Amino acid sequence: MKIGIDAMGGDFAPHEVLKGVKDYLQEAGDAAQVVLIGDEEKLNALLAGADLPQASYSVVHAPQVIDMHEHPTKALKEKPQSSIAVGFGALAKGHTDAFISAGNTGAMLVGALYSLKTIEGVLRPTISTIIPKEAGQTGLLLDVGLNSDCKPEQLNQFAIMGSVYAQNILGINKPRVALLNIGEEEGKGNLLAQATYPLLKENKHINFVGNAEGRDIFIDKADVLVCDGFTGNIVLKMAESLFEITERKGIKHEYFDLFNFENYGGTPVLGINKPVIIGHGISKAKAFKNMLALAQKMIEKDIMQKLAAELKP
Amino acid sequence: MKIGIDAMGGDFAPHEVLKGVKDYLQEAGDAAQVVLIGDEEKLNALLAGADLPQASYSVVHAPQVIDMHEHPTKALKEKPQSSIAVGFGALAKGHTDAFISAGNTGAMLVGALYSLKTIEGVLRPTISTIIPKEAGQTGLLLDVGLNSDCKPEQLNQFAIMGSVYAQNILGINKPRVALLNIGEEEGKGNLLAQATYPLLKENKHINFVGNAEGRDIFIDKADVLVCDGFTGNIVLKMAESLFEITERKGIKHEYFDLFNFENYGGTPVLGINKPVIIGHGISKAKAFKNMLALAQKMIEKDIMQKLAAELKP
């Protein structure tokens, strides 16, 4: 398998990307080949002293870079030689089997939605985040910002996608799916939650356990939490900021280490027909290494095929 | 002034209510008289040994209690002699100047909305929560659950109400008001946020500073955060659970003490014509004392009149 990675994406690219690739290859052996996408001259200069196993990587030239604050659609159009545009091109043509970038998140989302095909039957792709639980387990929250306004049918599909992902990637058997809501009983919540509940209850593809409230997010009530992307993004950013605050205040505890999102790598875009993983702008070697391992796992488990099977119209 | 308090409301009533009243009266002196609402026989038996200054309190008999899990509307109808129903009756008739309860939250909300008048011009009353900030300040988040689906005009009024409250009760001069959103720039967010932003920008009653994201909730970007009640309730419950988790894990730090919601007492219902404060079910003496002090401050500052002046149609 070939995993494409944007060598120029992220605040600490390309150095930390290359360090992450090296660490990944040391563990992965010859399970995968990494395709570094970026400025060939710059990369080759760095690779000369990087001591990477030559047979395990290749470089694809992409002389342009989309900056963090560029307008996604405009930048993708005006920079066809950017690492993100070239990365998606390689993936769409089948030259690679997955694509990873910690660059401009908007450009990654636009690229994923427009360069690749949506899985048949999927209304809208989604992005998720890993949620650390009090007892040390991890759960999944989705959507976390790709779909800020949602329809009940979309949340119902997110539940399936989250469930397949939790089962195959997080290794959770029969993941418990809950609707993030503001009350425990059926009938509670805003109009969206009220209309979504009966769909989830009837959904035979998932193990629905009812509503979960804000206070249940960090405890072990459910494995997959479903919500609209507005709510999910607020929850995600709040959880991330919490880790940063404890770091700044020097509050050390293994519980807060679980909130270090670098441990989880990036977030995959679910619902498209190829694995795409979006990293945080502040990703360092560890995050890149974990994203590469995640891409490998998604390919090995053939997640896209499993999603397609569950979502077939 | 006379402050009515539900002596039977909350998991630790009536004992902790009476302790809170005693602590409050010790500090407040003769600034206020407390009207204890509940079962007269039970209360008198407890009061006999409670050593409260006789001139500073009275008891109003209410033989029924609405339990925590009763259906609010049904319970209020079927239990007209409950402490909550009697408490609202006394407030509506002007026998008291404020009403506090840590009992059934739903019944408190229904009572507030139907026993009292909405301030002229207010589309929907709202409830808020105090949000502790990284540097030790406190901000206000609203709505936190009374209005799970909102219109832009409602959020625009919540901004005014939150601003008046922050200025007068929290003592923040020209409070900075932000829209809780999932992006920094104007135009970001779900349909509600997109439509609300221009209203807030044009609103001359507030000091609007733009969007705040989930990561800004706990830092000092704004003093008043405005959102729909679905999002706000999730944020509130998440913050509350965080305190509980750190308690359970024995993680001690002054920062997390700020998350002890007992310090803030309860949440006032804003937009109705009399002060009503809803306490958490787990309120203990400290919370009751703080709610009494808050009621006193709301009466002294004549918050309802100030809200009416800003919201006049």
**ipTM for the complex shown:** 0.93
For residue A261, pLDDT over 80 is answered with no
Supply the DSSP symbol for A70: S
What is the assigned CATH class of domain A127-262? alpha beta
Tokens 């135009």 — which residue?
B187
| Residues linked to residue A98 through DSSP beta bridges, in sequence order | A3
Other beta carbons less than 10 A from residue A82's beta carbon: 28
Give Cβ neighbours of residue A162 (< 8 Å, ≥ 6 apart): A128, A140, A142, A175, A177, A224, A225, A226, A270
- Tell me, what's the pLDDT at A301? 96
Q: How far A33 CA sits from the closest chain B CA (Å)?
A: 36
What tokens does B141 get? 């988040």
Q: Which pLDDT tens digit goes with each residue over B16-50?
A: 999 999 999 999 988 999 999 999 999 999 999 88
| Of A265, A231, A239, residue with least CA distance to B234 | A231
Q: What percent of chain B has pLDDT over 70?
A: 100
Residue in B190, B241, B248 nearest the CB of A214: B241
Greatest mean pLDDT among A236-250, B60-74, B262-276 lies in B60-74
pLDDT tens figures, B132-187:
888 878 899 999 999 999 999 999 999 999 999 999 999 999 999 999 999 999 99
Report chain A residues whose CB lies below 8 A from the CB of B233.
182, 213-214
- Contact partners, residue A26, CB within 8 Å, separation at least 6: none
Residue A138: pLDDT band (50, 70, 90) is: confident
Burial of A134 (0-12, 13-18, 19+ CB in 10 A): middle
CATH code for residues A1-122+271-313: 3.40.718.10
List, in sequence order, the alpha helices (H) in B34-190.
Answer: 40-48, 72-78, 83-92, 105-115, 152-168
C-alpha A277/C-alpha A3 separation (Å) is 11
**pLDDT digit string, tens, across residues B41-55:** 999 999 998 889 999
Nearest to B64 by CA among B77, B52, B54: B77
8-state DSSP, A212: E
**Residue B289 pLDDT > 80, yes or no?**
yes
Q: What is the pLDDT of residue B303?
A: 96
* Close Cβ partners of A294 (under 8 Å, ≥ 6 residues apart): A169, A265, A266, A268, A277
Q: Does A73 touch chain B (CB under 8 A)?
A: no
pLDDT tens-digit readout, B86-126: 999 999 999 999 999 999 999 999 999 999 999 999 999 99
CB-nearest to A235 from B190, B238, B249 is B238
Superfamily, domain B124-260: Isopropylmalate Dehydrogenase (3.40.718.10)
Q: Are strands B207-212 and A207-212 parallel, antiparallel or unpaired?
A: unpaired
Residue A305 above 90 pLDDT? yes
Q: Do B245 and A189 touch (CB under 8 A)?
A: no
Say if the Cβ atoms of B230 and A148 lie within 8 Å. Answer: no
Within an 8 Å CB–CB cutoff, is residue A292 touching chain B? no
Q: Hey, are the CB atoms on A255 and B245 less than 8 Å from each other?
A: yes
Domains A1-122+271-313 and A127-262 share a fold: yes
Write down the H helix ranges in chain A: 15-28, 40-48, 72-78, 83-92, 105-115, 152-168, 191-202, 229-248, 254-257, 285-300, 303-311
Q: Where are the domains of chain A?
A: 1-122+271-313, 127-262
B247–chain A Cβ distance below 8 A for any pair? no
pLDDT in tens, B199-226: 999 999 999 999 999 999 999 899 999 9
Q: Which residue has the tokens 């919370």?
A: B287
Instruction: Spell out the residues 6+ positions from residue B243 whose beta carbon is closer than 8 angstroms to its own.
Output: B256, B259, B260, B261
Token reading at B260: 């002890």
- State how far residue B213 is from chain A, nearest Cα, in angstroms: 7
- Say how far apart CA B15 and CA B74 lie, in whole Å: 27
Q: Determine whether the interchain pair A149/B191 forms a contact, defined as Cβ–Cβ distance below 8 Å.
A: yes
